[in-house]
Structures are given as structure tokens and as C-alpha cells.
Structure 1
Amino acid sequence: MDKSEPTKIEMGENSKLERKVGKAPLLGSPSHAISSAAVPTKRAGSYKRGIAIFDLILRIAAVATSIGAAVGMATAGETLPFFTQFFQFEAGYDDLPTFTFFVVAMSIVVAYLVLSIPFSIVCIARSHVVAPRLLLIIFDTAIVTLTTSAAGASAAIVYLAHNGNQDANWLAFCNQFGDFCQTTSGAVVAAFITIVLLLILILLSAIALNRRH
């Protein structure tokens, strides 16, 4: 009897120790891991939302510059004053096919940028959605190509209007049509500003799509 009693007491102490160990809190619990993993997700969501807000601001600015380019070129015109109204020199944007193409192209750019604003707002409300951002980067690339072609061709005409070309015997006529050349030059500059804004928009979309988390 004396030998069995210490054995019973030891078993009781071992069971108590096992209970105490079983009640010990686990440091690496799943709830702790989930809460720590949720922090980078929230940061990534706010980061993408910030990009989307900046995208919307730049898109509105691009609308303003493209409207200025289209309206400026469409209203470019000047008539030289002479003694008789039956014999006058007149310059207008529709006299040059390049400037006509510029007006049509920039009108398309304005329409697209206005239609793309709701998609940019969707990217702000749902920053993790990929489809609207992917559509924006595809169509922004196409529009920047159209804008670059119109602005580049018109810039060449504006350069010839200001400087002429002695080898081709093309005379500079901006000395006579100063207001016309100034208006067309301003329209071309506004178009190049639109190109810069569109390139930044494409870069922002690429960054947002590349950041997965």
C-alpha cells in the first residue's frame, strides 16, 4: 500500500500539469495571423484608391486640354484687310487637310476621355477590380497614338508656316497671318500636353495592374 500511494500522487500531479499546459495560450493562433495579414491588404487597397483618384484628376485635366486644342484649331481663321472686299486673303483651318484631321482627331479624343471618366470612378469605388483598369490602359494607348499622329502632323505644318522652306521654295506666311498662326500653334501645344497626360495615365494604370496585393 505504501508503494502504490506515491504512484497515485505522481499521476495526479502529472494530470494537473497536463491540464495547465493545455490551458496555455497559443502565440501563433490563426486569428493573430489573419489580423496581421489584413494590414498589407488594407494598405494595398488605399494605395490603389489613391492611384485611381489621381487618374481621375489627370483625366479631367486631359479633357480640358483636348477641348482647348480642338476648339482652338476649329476657330482658327484670319482675313487680311484690303481696300476692296472683293479681293481678300483668308486663312482657315479647313484650308489645310492636316488641320482638318487635327480637329476630327481631337474631337474623338475629347469624346473618349469624357466616356472614360465613369470607368475611372469605378476604379475608385472598387480599387481591386481589374477589368475597368485593363480597358482603360488599352484604349488610352490607342488614343495616345491618335493624338500623337494629329499633333505631330500639325506641328510640321505650323513649323513651315512660321519658317517656310527655302529648298522647296515655300514661303513663311505667319508674318501676314499672325493671329492664325498663333491660334494654331496654341492648339498644337495643347495637344502635346494632352499626350503627356495620357502617357501618365497609361503609366498609372500599369502600376495599378502590376500591384497584385
Structure 2
Amino acid sequence: MSARVDIPADTSAAAKGTAPLIAASTHVKGGYKKGLAIFDLVLRLGAVVTALAAAATMGTTDQTLPFFTQFFQFQASYDDLPTFQFFVIAMAIVSGYLVLSLPFSIVAIIRPHATGPRLLLIILDTVALTLNTAAAAAAVAIVDLAQNGNSSANWLGICQQFGDFCQKASGAVVASFIAAGVLLFLIVISALALRKR
């Protein structure tokens, strides 16, 4: 008894090419990471608009109340309060950073699997979110004080007299919290894009 195995002599490329492919790759270049990068760019543009709107609105917040004469007037302006000055500077820095981060977001669209730009964006977005949140929290405390006053310190609210001033300051604070929410969402998107798959 002998076991004999016949091996065909025809080993041409044509015969080898007829074998079925078992694990054909259906991976689309970029995939969901490219979609996340495009969404990142759109959100980043929205954050630029809201942060810039917050800084510009607070920076132009002032109101003058006429009194009996032209020489005696009451005035409220954002630069009367150091917290509002900090708010304007911080939101201008955040909006400037967001403008400067747009090229990195575009690189993430072109090269969706590159981790360097994503890692840089996630770190700097976290710093920008911290600055934005600090400015917004400080400003909301002053806006609340202007609205309600403080009965323990016998401080009266000024928003009954300076209604336009308080409305613009409140609008700027709301815009800054929207920008903070967008920045938080950008951090989550960058973290998802950095995930291995």
C-alpha cells in the first residue's frame, strides 16, 4: 500500500487566480473618522461664531441713564467690572484659538487616521474649554448679582435701572455657555476619532 498524491504540473498564474477570495476588504478609506472630522470642522466654525459673538456683545455692553442735567449721568459699562473685562479677553482668546485650530481640523479631514492633529486638538480644546468655562462662570456670578443684588451685603440689583446693560450681558453669558458646550462636544468627537478600530 502506497499513498500517492498527484500534484498537477500546471501552476500558472491563471489557475491560481480563480480561487475565491474569502476575506475581501470592504473598508472604505477614511470611513467614519472622515465623517467625524467634517462634523468637527462644522462645529468648530459654530464655536468660533458663538465665542466671537459673546466677546463682541460683552465688549459693546454699556448704558447711560440721563438724569436731571446733561452733566450728571449714571453709566454702566462692561469695563467698570474687572470680571467682565476678563470675560471679554478670555472669550477673544478662545475665539482666536478656534480660528487658528481650523487648519488642524482640515488636516484631520484630509488624513482621518492621523493621530497627531487629533491629539493636539483634544489637548488644546480642553485648555480652551477651561478658559471659556472660567470666564462664563465668573460673568454669570456678576450678572446674577446685577439682577438680584445681595441682601446680606445690602447691595441692590441694578437691572431695574440698567435693563439694556443686563440684557446684553446676559446674552453674552448665554453665548459663552453655548460655546463651552460646543467645545465639550468637540473634545468628545476628537476622543472618538482617536479610538482604535
Q: Please confirm whether the aligned pair reaches a TM-score higher than 0.5, indicating the same fold.
A: yes
The CA deviation at 1:22 is 7.2
Q: Report what 1:82 is aligned to.
A: 67
Structure 1's consecutive aligned runs of 4 or more residues displaced over 3 angstroms after TM superposition are 20-23
Q: Report what 2:52 is aligned to.
A: 67
SS in 2 for 1:32: coil
State the Cα RMSD in Å: 2.4
Pick the structure with greater CA Rg: 1
Map of 1:57-206 to 2, 5 A cutoff? 57-206=42-191
SS in 2 for 1:19: coil
SS in 2 for 1:167: coil
The CA deviation at 1:51 is 0.1
Give, as a single letter, the amino acid of the residue that structure 1 aligns with 2:149.
G
Contact between 2:66 and 2:72, CA under 8 Å: does it hold in 1? no
Map of 1:12-23 to 2, 5 A cutoff? 17-19=6-8
Matched residues, percent identical? 57
The CA deviation at 1:19 is 2.0
TM-score under structure 1 length normalisation? 0.84
- 1:140-195: CA deviations, max 9, x gaps? 00000000000000000000111111111110000000000000000000000000
SS in 1 for 2:158: coil
The CA deviation at 1:115 is 0.3
Give, as a single letter, the amino acid of the residue that structure 1 aligns with 2:171.
G
Q: Report what 1:39 is aligned to.
A: 26
TM-score under structure 2 length normalisation? 0.90
Higher helix share: 1
List gaps (5 residues or longer) in structure 1.
Answer: 1-13
SS in 1 for 2:63: strand
Q: How many residues align?
A: 193
Q: Report what 2:33 is aligned to.
A: 48
The CA deviation at 1:39 is 1.8
The CA deviation at 1:61 is 0.2
Give, as a single letter, the amino acid of the residue that structure 2 aligns with 1:143.
A
List gaps (5 residues or longer) in structure 2.
Answer: none
The CA deviation at 1:26 is 7.0
